[in-house]
C-alpha cells in the first residue's frame, strides 16, 4: 500500500508523489493499492483524512487519555528557559496552561475566543511500557522517560504519531517496519493503541539497522555518495524550487533487479551461500527474524558486482532494449549487429554504457591504439608474420570464427612462434586494445573486407620498427 504521509505541509515538495510512484514502477514493485494505484481504503493522502484524525483525537480527550493544551510559543519558550532539558510530561504539565489545570469555564472561554490549542497524549508517568520488536527483542521503557507528545496540531493537522496509528488500524496494517531511529517513539505508539482500545489488533514492530557509509562510519548520506561518485536516489531527482539535485541508480546504469537483490542483503541474509535471488525467491526466503541489529555498510563495489551478474544472466533480447536506451548518438548501427555483439561483451561489462565503450571498435575503425602493446609487440619479425597471416586470411573462402582460428593458430604452431607475439599485435591492429572478447569472434563479426582493411591501415600507419 502506498500512503502519502504529508501531515507536515511545510515539507511538501511538488513532484515528490509522482517520483515515488515512478520509483516503485521502475523497481517492479508496484503498490497493490494507494496513491496512483487505487484501492478501497482511501483517501491515501493523510492531508485528505483530517476529519478522521480529529475524530479520534477528540475521542482520546473524552476518554481522559489526552487533553487540550493552550500554551503559546512564548510560554513554552519560557518554560524551556526555566527548566533545563524541559519536556512536557506528567510533572511539568501541572504548571502549564491546559485542560488539566484550567477550569471548565476557562476552557470554554478560550475555545470561544478561538485561542489556538493542540491536543496532547496524557502519559501517566508511573508504569513501564513493554513491547516485542521482531529485530530488537523485548523492549521496556518507563513512562517517566516519555513526554506528552502533540497528537493534533493547531493548524488542524495530526502529527505523525496519531495519523499513522489511526491509518494503520483502519487500513489493516499487520507490520510496521522502519529504521531504528523510530524505536524511541514506539512506546508512545503502543500507548496510543492501548488508549484507543486497539491493543488486540496492534501491528508487530520491526526496527531495521541503519545503512552506513561504505567505510562503516556514519549514516549513509547523499554527501557521501557525491564524494565517492555513486547515487543514493533510485531515480535522478531535481528539486523543483531549490538548487538540489541527485543522480539516480537508474540513470547510472543499474538494473532494478540487481538493486533489489543488493538492498535485500543489507542487514539480512538467507542463512545460505546463495547470493543471487529473483524477486520471487526473495519473497520466499525473507524473514524479519534474520535481520541483524548492527548497522549495514553500503558496499558500492558489491552492488556493482550484482549489476555485472544480472547483465551476464539476462537474455540478449532484454539487453538489446537496455543497451539501445543508452546508445550514443554518434554511433550508427542496426539491431541485428548489436545482437551479434552482445554475447561477446555481456560477460565483461558492469553497466550498459560499458557495452558501447567496448563494442565501439567493432562498429567503427579504432582511432586510438594501446601504446604499450605497440611498443612491445610491433616488431619487424612479428610484422613479417602478420603479412603472411593476412595473405592466408585473404585466400580464405569461408571467413568464420572456426576457419580464422584454424589459419592463425595453425600458422603460429607450424612456425614455432609465441602466441603472445602474434595474437597481441593482431588484436591491436583490429581493435586498438590489449584485451577484449575472443579474437576470432571479433574477426568473424568484422568480416573479411574490414579485417583486411585494418591490416592494411596498421601496415601503413604503425611504426616500421
- Among residues 222, 302, 365, 409, the one annotated as catalytic is 222
Distance between CA atoms of 232 and 248, rounded to whole angstroms? 7
The yes-or-no answer on residue 222 being catalytic is yes
Task: Number of helices (H) and strands (E) in the chain: give both, helices first.
Answer: 19, 11
Residue 284 CB contacts under 8 Å (≥ 6 apart), including other chains: none
Helix or strand (DSSP H, E) at 434: none
Report strand pairing: 211-212 vs 296-297.
parallel
Contact 301, 246 (CB under 8 A): no
154, 117 in Cβ contact below 8 A? yes
Contact 89, 125 (CB under 8 A): yes
Q: In angstroms, what CA-CA distances link 219 with 171, 181, 272? A: 32, 11, 28
Q: Can you tell me whether residue 402 is helix, strand or coil?
A: helix
365-387 as b/e: b if 16+ CB within 10 A? ebeebbeebbeebbeeebbebbe
Q: Where do runs of H (alpha helix) occur along 222-334? A: 222-228, 256-264, 279-285, 300-313, 316-324
Sign, Cα dihedral of 245, 249, 251, 253: positive
Contact 196, 188 (CB under 8 A): no
Sheet holding 204-208, edge to edge: 137-142, 128-133, 204-208, 175-179
The residues, any chain, with a CB within 8 Å of residue 28's CB and separated by 6 or more, are 256, 257, 260, 279
C-alpha cell at 193: 493503541
Asked whether the bond before 43 is cis by omega within 30 degrees of 0, the reply is: yes
Residue with cell 582511432: 367
Q: Which three cell numbers stand for residue 418?
A: 609465441
Residue 218: which region, alpha, beta or left (left: phi > 0; alpha: psi -120 to 50)? left
CB contact at 8 A, 151 and 120: yes
- Find, among 338, 343, 456, 443, the residue nearest to 399 by Cα: 443
How far apart CA 457 and CA 344 sit, in angstroms, is: 24
Q: Which residues are catalytic?
A: 222
Amino acid at each position: 500500500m502506498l500512503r502519502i504521509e504529508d501531515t507536515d505541509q511545510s515539507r511538501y515538495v511538488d513532484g515528490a508523489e509522482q517520483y515515488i510512484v515512478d520509483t516503485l514502477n521502475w523497481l517492479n514493485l508496484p503498490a497493490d493499492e494507494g496513491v496512483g494505484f487505487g484501492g478501497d481504503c482511501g483517501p491515501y493522502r493523510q492531508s485528505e483524512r483530517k476529519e478522521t484524525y480529529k475524530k479520534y483525537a477528540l475521542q482520546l480527550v473524552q476518554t481522559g487519555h489526552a487533553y487540550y493544551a493552550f500554551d503559546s510559543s512564548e510560554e513554552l519558550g519560557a518554560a524551556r528557559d526555566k527548566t533545563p532539558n524541559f519536556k512536557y510530561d506528567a510533572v511539568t504539565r501541572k504548571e502549564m496552561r491546559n485542560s488539566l489545570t484550567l477550569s471548565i469555564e476557562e476552557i470554554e472561554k478560550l475555545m470561544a475566543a478561538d485561542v489556538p490549542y493542540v491536543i496532547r497524549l496524557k502519559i501517566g508517568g508511573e508504569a513501564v511500557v513493554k513491547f516485542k520488536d521482531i529485530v530488537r527483542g523485548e523492549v521496556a521503557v518507563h513512562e517517566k522517560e516519555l513526554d506528552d507528545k502533540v497528537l493534533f496540531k493547531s493548524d488542524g493537522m495530526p502529527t505523525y504519531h496519531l495519523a499513522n496509528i489511526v491509518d494503520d488500524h483502519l487500513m489493516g496494517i499487520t507490520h510496521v517496519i522502519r529504521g531504528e531511529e523510530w524505536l524511541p517513539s514506539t512506546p508512545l505508539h503502543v500507548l496510543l493503541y492501548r488508549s484507543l482500545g486497539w491493543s488486540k489488533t496492534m501491528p508487530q514492530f520491526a526496527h531495521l539497522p541503519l545503512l552506513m557509509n561504505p567505510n562503516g562510519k556514519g549514516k549513509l548520506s547523499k554527501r557521501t555518495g557525491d564524494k565517492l561518485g555513486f547515487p543514493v536516489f533510485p531515480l535522478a531527482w531535481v528539486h523543483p524550487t531549490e538548487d538540489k539535485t541527485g543522480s539516480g541508480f537508474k540513470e547510472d546504469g543499474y538494473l532494478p533487479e540487481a538493486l533489489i537483490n543488493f538492498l535485500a542483503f543489507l542487514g539480512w541474509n538467507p542463512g545460505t551461500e546463495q547470493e543471487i535471488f529473483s524477486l520471487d525467491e526473495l519473497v520466499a526466503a525473507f524473514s524479519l527474524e534474520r535481520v541483524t541489529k548492527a548497522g549495514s555498510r553500503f558496499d558500492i563495489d558489491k552492488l556493482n558486482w550484482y549489476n555485472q551478474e544480472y547483465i551476464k544472466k539476462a537474455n540478449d533480447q532484454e539487453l538489446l532494449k537496455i543497451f539501445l536506451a543508452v546508445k550514443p548518438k554518434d554511433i550508427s548501427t542496426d539491431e541485428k549487429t548489436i545482437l551479434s555483439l552482445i554475447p561477446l561483451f555481456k560477460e565483461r561489462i558492469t553497466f550498459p554504457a560499458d557495452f558501447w565503450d567496448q563494442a565501439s571498435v567493432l562498429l567503427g575503425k579504432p582511432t586510438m591504439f594501446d601504446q604499450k602493446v605497440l611498443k612491445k609487440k610491433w616488431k619487424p619479425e612479428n610484422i613479417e608474420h602478420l603479412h603472411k597471416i593476412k595473405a592466408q586470411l585473404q585466400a580464405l573462402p569461408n571467413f568464420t570464427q572456426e576457419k580464422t582460428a584454424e589459419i592463425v593458430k595453425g600458422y603460429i604452431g607450424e612456425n614455432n612462434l609465441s602466441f603472445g607475439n602474434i595474437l597481441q599485435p593482431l588484436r591491436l591492429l583490429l581493435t586498438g586494445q590489449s584485451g577484449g572478447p575472443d579474437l576470432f569472434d571479433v574477426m568473424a563479426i568484422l568480416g573479411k573486407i574490414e579485417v583486411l582493411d585494418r591490416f592494411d591501415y596498421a601496415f601503413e600507419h604503425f611504426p616500421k620498427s
